[in-house]
Structure 1
Amino acid sequence: MTAGTTRRTTAMRSRTAAVGAIAVAGALILTGCGDQTNGGGSSSTESAKSNSAPLFSKLPKSIQDAGVIKVGTNAEYAPMESTEGGKIVGVDPDLADALSKQLGVKFQFTSGSFDGLITAVNSGRYDIAMSSITDNKQRQEGLDDKGKKLGEGVDFVDYFVAGTAIYVKKGNPEKIEGIEDLCGKTAAVQRGTTYEQALKDQSKKCTSGGKKAIDIESFDNDTEAQTRVKSGGAVAGINDYPVAVDLARKADSGNAFEVINKQYDAGPFGIVLTKKNTELRDVLKEAVDAIIKDGSYQKVLAKWGAQSGAIEQSAINGGK
């Protein structure tokens, strides 16, 4: 979803401050929303031992034996992750498919609420979260927006970069040219995202500068925020840049929205893991670097029109 998410508070998304082949082939299990999975299953211990994928031997034994990495996502952010025909598709599932070829295990995606993903990883429900989640110090350390400790922090394996974008109704009737133009106006956003925080920060700047605060309308999902903008109830919506661009291109055949040509607070999207899961974290970084090196990473981004978010090398906890 720009680092989300992140395109998102203890589990803020960039989505930044933000994340196709309609069925992913081979070693990737895709799921619809909820806990239902589409086919597949765990590999046996015996077959795991004979796995010849380049990085399989570096995986934790529990993952080797299961043959599966359980992934939490919020499949509402095309082109990064969305649901089509009961399958989760997009940049993140396709990148996971490429990673699976390096690791020799399946990635089993399950969609749920964005603001619960980090908690679900720390509770052990998922091995990782991959959902256009912006890597930042706040999430690494488990802090709220005032620096207060909320819970366990998490580690990130960075794989993409994006910023926050503003989208408006087609034709831009309110002539919004930047986030500062939202002072005294209504803006729609998904709750718990880093771009919700970006609006709060800008609203403080508005009032300190003698202008009216932004009327921030926060919704449980991004579809509701989009509907609010489309109906004219909000003058703008805030999202990850690649998500906003995709929305403007596809909604009502490109006739519903347009994107203000600026990105704010660009930062990395990261795969989320618990602080204790360093073995899986380190091999995932190797796998990301491997798909960058072999070109499969770039092919996935090109397929979804997300080349602007490409990185040259992965990092662990590279966000600020």
Structure 2
Amino acid sequence: MNSKVLAPALLAAALFSSPSLAQDAKIPVQTADATLHAKLPKEIRDAGEMITVNSGSFPPYEIVSDTRSMSGASADLAHALGEVLGVKVKHESVSGLSSLLSGIKSGRYQFAIGPVGDFPERQAANDFVDWVQEYVVFAVQIGNPKGIKSLADTCGLKIAVQSGGSAERVIKQQATKCTEEGKPAVEVQSFPDQPTSILAVRSKRSDGFFSSQAPLTYFVQQSNGQLELAAVGQSNGFDDLFQGTVVPKDSPLGPVILEGYKKLFDNGTYATIMKKWGLDNNMLKAPGINLAGKRPQ
């Protein structure tokens, strides 16, 4: 086991498991699609399983309790997708998003259920089967004591981000902009995962955590009134932000996963899973490949 992954994973499981979500929602059992199964790469058909990799807990999508088990919306989606494709889906963890993306690019892992941010620069090495639209905001201490209303308000503040993610890139650009304008730079605090980042805010070592709105909403709900969201409804350095499942560039697995998702969208399973985990506002009307830079049809 990778202790660097397991330690924060246990923090997430202990601190952020959520009995308030609709855990009793019934997710329909899927019928295997023989045509899609036949389109899977031979090594997957022969093994009868696919291995998806994650970079640690990303609630409420991925809640990692150890290096080979996971709950959350992504776990439910992975299970349903496996049923549609007629294979089992197993989970493995690595430390950090960079390790996840490089592992997918190299072919070490077949795919990452995600969702992982889809950006044109990432599409050069990987393909994204997008199934989420996301927004990037701040989790701050209750009352928003530093007055963060937009990205521009972060000059001179200590801002936590997940290492290797798109938010880290944007906040570093903002730090440069602050100094160019003669203001104090942002102190960028990069952490390996979401739970460690949010704990930095709860302990007041960070003034805010800059990340995706869906997991931050989840963390705020579980903070016993210690945290709130800030800069909601602002672009905060991002255009339309799509997230999805990652496969190696031009992998034949991508189109098969897309067709599997289409079935789950069409039969209502996707909506059931998203609503179960409080993700109504992050739903797409239809999945798509590499939606970054283009609007979904």
Whether TM-score is above 0.5 comes out as yes
Shift of 1:155: 1.1
Provide the rounded CA distance (Å) in 1 between the counterparts of 2:53 and 2:175.
32
Contact 2:60 2:277 in 1 (8 A): yes
Alignment of 1:154-173 (within 5 A): 154-173=126-145
TM-superposed deviation, 1:115? 1.9
SS at match of 2:145: coil
- Residue 271 (1) aligns with residue 245 (2): yes
CA offset digits 1:127-186 (Å, max 9, x no partner): 101222111111112xxxxxxxxxxx1111111110211110112122221211111111
Q: C-alpha displacement at 1:250, in angstroms?
A: 0.8
Mapped pair 1:104 → 2:79: no
Residues 1:128 and 2:101 are matched in the alignment = no
Cα–Cα, structure 1 residues 287 and 225, in superposed 2: closer, same or farther, change >3 Å?
Answer: same
**2:57 matches 1:76:** yes
CA distance in 2, matches of 1:208, 1:115: 29
Cα pair 1:74 1:81 within 8 Å, conserved: no
> Is the CA contact (8 Å cut-off) linking 1:74 and 1:131 kept in structure 2?
no
CA contact (8 A) 2:40 2:256 kept: yes
| Sequence identity (%) | 29
The residue aligned with 1:259 is: 229
Contact 2:140 2:229 in 1 (8 A): yes
How far 1:284 moved relative to its partner? 0.7
Shift of 1:62: 1.7
Q: 1:211 aligns with which of 171, 183, 191?
A: 183
Other-structure match for 1:192: 164
TM-score by length of 1: 0.76
Choose from 69, 88, 94 the match for 1:87. Answer: 69
Query: What TM-score do the two structures reach when normalised by structure 2?
Result: 0.82
Question: Mind listing any 5+ residue stretches in structure 2 that lack a counterpart?
Answer: 1-21
1:259 maps to a residue whose letter is L
Q: Which of 209, 214, 219 is residue 242 of structure 1 equivalent to?
A: 214
Q: Helix, strand or coil for the counterpart of 1:133? A: strand
Where in structure 1 are there 5+ consecutive unaligned residues?
1-19, 29-50, 142-152
User: 2:69·2:91 contact (CA, 8 Å) conserved in 1?
Assistant: no
Alpha-carbon RMSD across the aligned residues, in angstroms, is 2.4
